[in-house]
Structure formats: structure tokens, C-alpha cells
């Protein structure tokens, strides 16, 4: 069957979603529209990188909030993807009352909602920091509950899972929550509805098929709940920290703390360049080495709070250099700078930063994907990006799901 799936990529960065999906099958996944805009920056390095690496489809470099509804109405979208910031998603009654609800201004999740309302894609795949499941700290889980209710009201079933890339065959400990939503009128939804929510989370669902887990929750942590019907009530009152996995159907959700079934990772040493290819500028100067020894060492420092109260800030020590036999730690946008979070590797007795190419490898991007921009921006873009191989795995599951959509019994006979 010559099926294609039209993809729209929001908050596209340097194109991690698109690359991952194309690695799964570039004949089927066709990105028809992609948007990337770095606020308050003259240079648009991520967008330029996207343009260098991809040619097909429309590439928009504008603030997504300024793109009109008509643009989305004209697109036929099967799959919407995007990694969006974790923000405050609270809602309030609009001043004029009759206009309904108003989300906080500048919140980018409402842009995702707007695309859904205007184009009704079959599938949605989103990525965010795992903190989203518990935020804000004073009303745990409220923001995620608002997202779930938004999908409920638009007739989607939602599954979510926190995935640590280093547990599923990748080189970086990067824990991110992935959210997969699908329309309730799909055959796949029909099939899922035959299972219990527990079976979906542990065995049969999108994430269970892609990233297998042990069949029991960690320390028995699981529970079943129902979202209040009124999203305003959720915004005002909801407080519940979601577990690492779950499914929501018609506002009822089951959530559990899952554990990887068979852990596997790529050790840091396997993604390092040959030392003769590492430029001198990446090796630490004596002053930098000293600064790192301090930053990564244990410390107890007296500090004064804004109210004048004195307290002792203490921080445990970490190993002076990163373990080459383990996976890399989480890469941040400040990677490559003198900062406690930057990786430092010691090879042949010399300490150095990771190079931008090695950072691309930590995210399973091809070498030199971000070449052409300053090193500082290459690190920044990789800190923002995602682990591409995880998207490839999820892309393959979407292909399996979609291959069975609307297949008539005659077509099944022809396939046999
Ligand atoms: C977490 S990053 C996503 C990275 C991407 N998944 C990748 O593989 O590179 C979020 C992106 O959203 C972009 N962004 C932030 N505000 C935006 C806006 N108002 N309109 C469009 N893009 C925006 C940022 O520049 C950033 O590249």
C-alpha cells in the first residue's frame, strides 16, 4: 500500500522529530509544514540548520503565535509532532465571560491546541521535560491534567511515558516525557478499548509496544482517577503527581510507575572521536581544570537569602570526570561551557570537553548535523534537541498502527 503520513513539526529546532521519523520510513513520513523561531534572536541558527538538512515541505520561521488559523485549516495533517516548553498552563474565565476560557498568554501548549482544533490530525506525538507531570510544585500535576483535559475535550485518547534514553539502547541519560494522543474514531482506538487501562500501560499500548517494561509497577505505585469535567475546576483545584506512565480515556486515567524490562545503553567511550581528530581548543586549560575540580567537588557555602537569613548551601561531590563506561549524563544547553553540568572526559591522561560532534552523537544525530553555526550554538541546539533514535522507534510503532487503519477484509485477504 502506498500510504503517506503528512507530518507537521512544531518547535522544530534542528529537526530531531523529522529526522527520527524519516529514519523510520522516509517514504511514508512526509513533513509538509515545519515551524521554528528562536524568540529575541536576530540569528536563527536552528532554523538555518533545519533548512540546510531538509528541503521538502514548507519551512516557517515565525513566532508560532502569529501564524493564522487558516494556515492549519489548509493543511491535511496525519501526525502532529513537537517538543514544547514546560510552562504554566493555568486557565481562567475570560473577562467577557461568554467567550469561555482563557489560557495564560504566551503559553505554547495553546498553539498545539489551536493546530488540533484547526486540522484534527489522527496522531499527536509530543515531548517535554519529565517535570511536567508534577508541575507546578504548589499544585502538583495541574498543568498536565489541563493538557489531558484539553485532549479529552477534542476526542483524543492519550498515553504518556517518561523514557530515559539510556535505558533503551542510547548513549545519554535523558529522561523526557513523551505523549502520544490518537483520535477516538481510529481502528487503533477501538482495539485499545478492548484492553483494560492497566493492560494498555504495561503490555498493549503504544509505549508498552515501543519501550517494553516490567509487568508490575515499581513499589506498587499505580492508581486510577477521573479528571473533573470542568477545566476551570482542574485549573483551580487539581493536585496529584502523575506517575511515569499512564493512559487517559474519556477523562478517566490510570497511571503507574513503570520500570524498563531489559536495560541497554551505549557507553560514552563508544561515541568519542579518535583523539587525533579532536581540536586543541576542546582540551581544558589549567585554569579551567581547576575550576572544574572545584565545581564538581563537594562543598558547603554560607549564603544569605533575600530576607537576610543566613543558611548553608551544600552540594555533594561528583566524579572529577565522566565515566566512559557508562552512558553520558543529560546534555543541557550550557554544555561545553565551564559549568558543573558539562561533560568532562579524560582520554590519554588529558581532560577535555565533548566536541559538538560528540554531542550530536549523544543525541543520535549524524556527525556535523549542526555544522556551520558557532560551537556555542551547536551545543545549545543539542541541549534543546532530543534523542533521535527514540523517535525512530516510536515512528515504527506509528507505522504498525497506521498500516492497520481502514484495512478492509478484502485487503487483508490480498495481503495474506
Ligand atoms: C525544546 S526545543 C525543540 C527542539 C527540537 N525537538 C529539536 O530536535 O531540535 C523548543 C524549540 O521551540 C522554539 N520556540 C520557542 N518559542 C517559539 C515560538 N514562539 N514559535 C516558534 N518556535 C518557538 C525554540 O527556539 C526551540 O528551538
Q: Which residue positions in the chain have pLDDT lower than 50? A: none
Q: Is 35 in the pocket of ligand 1 (CB under 6 A)?
A: yes
Q: Is 380 in the pocket of ligand 1 (CB under 6 A)?
A: no
CA of 358 from ligand 1 middle (Å) equals 22
- pLDDT at residue 104, as a whole number: 76
Look at ligand 1, atom 23, and give the residue with the nearest C-alpha.
37
Query: Does 279 sit behind a cis peptide bond, omega within 30 degrees of 0 on the bond before it?
Result: no
Q: Candidates 13, 42, 115: which one to mutate for ligand 1, based on the most atoms within 8 Å of Cβ?
A: 13
Q: Where are the domains of the chain?
A: 5-262+388-410, 268-384
- The residue annotated as part of the active site, out of 86, 170, 359, 381, is 86
CA of 335 from ligand 1 middle (Å) equals 18
- pLDDT at residue 3, as a whole number: 85
Q: Is 105 in the pocket of ligand 1 (CB under 6 A)?
A: no
d(CA 327, CA 211): 18
- pLDDT at residue 409, as a whole number: 54
CA of 47 from ligand 1 middle (Å) equals 9
- pLDDT at residue 415, as a whole number: 54
Q: pLDDT tens digit string along 356-408? A: 999 999 999 999 999 999 999 999 999 999 999 999 999 999 999 999 997 65
CA of 371 from ligand 1 middle (Å) equals 19
For all residues of the chain together, what is the average pLDDT?
A: 93
CATH class of 268-384: alpha beta
- pLDDT at residue 413, as a whole number: 61
Look at ligand 1, atom 24, and give the residue with the nearest C-alpha.
38
CA of 50 from ligand 1 middle (Å) equals 12
Residue 170 annotated to the active site: no
Q: Is 83 in the pocket of ligand 1 (CB under 6 A)?
A: yes
Q: Is 11 in the pocket of ligand 1 (CB under 6 A)?
A: yes
Look at ligand 1, atom 27, and give the residue with the nearest C-alpha.
13
Q: Candidates 23, 36, 176, 385: which one to mutate for ligand 1, based on the most atoms within 8 Å of Cβ?
A: 36
CB 132 within 8 A of CB 161: no
CA of 385 from ligand 1 middle (Å) equals 9
Q: Per CATH, is 5-262+388-410 categorized as 3.30.830.10?
A: no
- pLDDT at residue 207, as a whole number: 98
Look at ligand 1, atom 25, and give the residue with the nearest C-alpha.
38
Amino acid at each position: 500500500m502506498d500510504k503517506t503520513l503528512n507530518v507537521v513539526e512544531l518547535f522544530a529546532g534542528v529537526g530531531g522529530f523529522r529526522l527520527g521519523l524519516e529514519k523510520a520510513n522516509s517514504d511514508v513520513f512526509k513533513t509538509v509544514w515545519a515551524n521554528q523561531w528562536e524568540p529575541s534572536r536576530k540569528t536563527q541558527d536552528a532554523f538555518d540548520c533545519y533548512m540546510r538538512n531538509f528541503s521538502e515541505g514548507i519551512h516557517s520561521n515565525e513566532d508560532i503565535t502569529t501564524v493564522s488559523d487558516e494556515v492549519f485549516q489548509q493543511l491535511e495533517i496525519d501526525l502532529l509532532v513537537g517538543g514544547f516548553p514546560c510552562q504554566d498552563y493555568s486557565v481562567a474565565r475570560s473577562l467577557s465571560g461568554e467567550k469561555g476560557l482563557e489560557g495564560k498568554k504566551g503559553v505554547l501548549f495553546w498553539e498545539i491546541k489551536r493546530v488540533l482544533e484547526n486540522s484534527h490530525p489522527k496522531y499527536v506525538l509530543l515531548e517535554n521535560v519529565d517535570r511536567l507531570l508534577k508541575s507546578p510544585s504548589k499544585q502538583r500535576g495541574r498543568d498536565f491534567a489541563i493538557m489531558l483535559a484539553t485532549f479529552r475535550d477534542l476526542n483524543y485518547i492519550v498515553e504518556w511515558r517518561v523514557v530515559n534514553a539510556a535505558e533503551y539502547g542510547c548513549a545519554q541519560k535523558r529522561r523526557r516525557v513523551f505523549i502520544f494522543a490518537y483520535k477516538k474514531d481510529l481502528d487503533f482506538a477501538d482495539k485499545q478499548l478492548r484492553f483494560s487501562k492497566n493492560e494498555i500501560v504495561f503490555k498493549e499500548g503504544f509505549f508498552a509496544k515501543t519501550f517494553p517494561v516490567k509487568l508490575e509497577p515499581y513499589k506498587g505505585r499505580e492508581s486510577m482517577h477521573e479528571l473533573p469535567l470542568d477545566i476551570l475546576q482542574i485549573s483551580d483545584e487539581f493536585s496529584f503527581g502523575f506517575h511515569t506512565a499512564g493512559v487517559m480515556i474519556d477523562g478517566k486515567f490510570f497511571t503507574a510507575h513503570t520500570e524498563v524490562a531489559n536495560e541497554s545503553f551505549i557507553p560514552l567511550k563508544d561515541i568519542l572521536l579518535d583523539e587525533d581528530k579532536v581540536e586543541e581548543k576542546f582540551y581544558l586549560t589549567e585554569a579551567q581544570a581547576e575550576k572544574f575540580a572545584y565545581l564538581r567537588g563537594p562543598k558547603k557555602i554560607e549564603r544569605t537569602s533575600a530576607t537576610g537569613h543566613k543558611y548553608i548551601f551544600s552540594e555533594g561531590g561528583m566524579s572529577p570526570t565522566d565515566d566512559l563506561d557508562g552512558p553520558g549524563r543529560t546534555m543541557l544547553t550550557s554544555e561545553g561551557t565551564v559549568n558543573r553540568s558539562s561533560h568532562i572526559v579524560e582520554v590519554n591522561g588529558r581532560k577535555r570537553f565533548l566536541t559538538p560532534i560528540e554531542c550530536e552523537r549523544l543525541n543520535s544525530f549524524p556527525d556535523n548535523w549542526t555544522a556551520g553555526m558557532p560551537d556555542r550554538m551547536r551545543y545549545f541546539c543539542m541541549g534543546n534537541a532530543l534523542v533521535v533514535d527514540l523517535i525512530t522507534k516510536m515512528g515504527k510503532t506509528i507505522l504498525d498502527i497506521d498500516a492497520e487503519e481502514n484495512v478492509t477484509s478484502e485487503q487483508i485477504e490480498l495481503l495474506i
